[in-house]
């Protein structure tokens, strides 16, 4: 929708109100020659009824504007915290979004992809393919030993999560890192600034981090098909 233009439903509603006021004024004018307050009140009441009938007859319903944002949903199924530093990019754009995610055991976070890419509350364009390149750590307040990465990812538009495809990422036996003291709740931050992206990546402990890459494809029904491009692999180096 172009900036500065009113929604069609709002324009129709405004027109109905104008017509209603016009009819009411005509009937009130006709009532003036009649004697008695009751006659005028009765015609005014009739005008009000006709106006309401007109609006209902047009089928105008004032509802909150539906939000059809494309959302990425991350669910931690493991026993440790998940920390993810990732880059989201598209093949037809040089714009990259850097994402930093913390998810408590059993927790989840949602990422508004539409908002991050400038689509406001509209879904991302059908057919768009995003590449999601991510480094992942698992962490606890009592580090040491090994644990398992188990993360579900979904993508959908509007309220379509129940129809969304489910992608599961697993990697067993990776080192459990130290959870920073300032991390108390699940959360997600993002930026298009490479300097911020570098900060996100530098917070990943390269020793025992898991790297993987997926593609996210926007479907006609608003869901997102997620496919593995690079299977999870244990690595020692983290690069932006």
pTM score: 0.72
Per-residue pLDDT at 110: 96
- Domain borders along the chain are 8-57, 70-235
pLDDT of residue 21: 55
Q: What is the CA radius of gyration of the chain?
A: 28
What pLDDT score was predicted for residue 17?
53
d(CA 232, CA 209): 10
pLDDT value of position 95: 78
At residue 160, the pLDDT reads 79
Each residue of 136-150: b (16+ CB within 10 Å) or e? bbbbbeeeeeebebb
- How confident is the model at residue 67, as a pLDDT? 67
Residues with Cβ within 8 Å of residue 72, at least 6 apart in sequence: 110, 111, 113, 153, 154, 155, 216, 224
The predicted structure's pLDDT at residue 236:
73
Tens digit of pLDDT at every position of the chain (240 positions): 333 444 444 444 455 554 545 555 554 454 455 444 444 445 445 545 444 444 445 554 444 455 689 999 999 999 999 999 999 998 766 679 999 999 999 999 999 999 998 888 899 999 999 999 999 999 999 998 999 999 999 999 988 787 788 999 999 999 999 999 999 999 999 999 999 999 999 999 988 899 999 999 999 988 999 999 999 999 877 776
Long-range contact set of residues 204-208: C-beta below 8 Å, sequence gap at least 24: 204/83, 204/85, 204/135, 204/136, 204/137, 204/238, 205/137, 205/177, 206/135, 206/235, 206/236, 206/237, 206/238, 207/175, 207/236, 208/137, 208/174, 208/175, 208/177, 208/234
């Amino acid at each position: 929708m172009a900036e500065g233009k009113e929604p069609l439903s709002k324009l129709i509603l405004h027109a109905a109100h104008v017509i209603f006021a016009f009819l009411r004024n005509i009937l009130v004018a006709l009532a003036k020659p009649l004697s008695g307050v009751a006659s005028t009140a009765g015609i005014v009441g009739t005008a009000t009824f006709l106006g309401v009938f007109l609006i209902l007859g047009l089928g105008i319903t004032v509802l909150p504007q539906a939000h059809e944002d494309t959302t990425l949903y991350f669910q931690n199924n493991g026993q440790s915290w998940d920390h993810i530093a990732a880059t989201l990019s598209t093949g037809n754009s040089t714009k990259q979004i850097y994402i930093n995610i913390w998810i408590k055991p059993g927790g989840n976070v949602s990422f508004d992809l539409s908002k991050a890419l400038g689509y406001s509350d509209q879904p991302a364009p059908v057919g768009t393919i995003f590449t999601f390149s991510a480094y992942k750590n698992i962490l606890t307040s009592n580090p040491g030993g090994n644990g398992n990465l188990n993360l579900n990812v979904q993508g959908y538009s509007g309220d379509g999560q129940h129809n969304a495809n489910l992608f599961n990422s697993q990697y067993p036996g990776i080192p459990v890192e130290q959870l920073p003291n300032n991390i108390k709740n699940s959360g997600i931050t993002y930026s298009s600034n490479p300097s911020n992206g570098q900060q996100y990546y530098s917070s990943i402990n390269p020793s025992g981090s898991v790297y993987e890459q997926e593609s996210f494809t926007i479907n006609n029904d608003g869901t997102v098909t997620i496919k593995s491009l690079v299977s999870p692999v244990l690595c020692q180096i983290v690069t932006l």
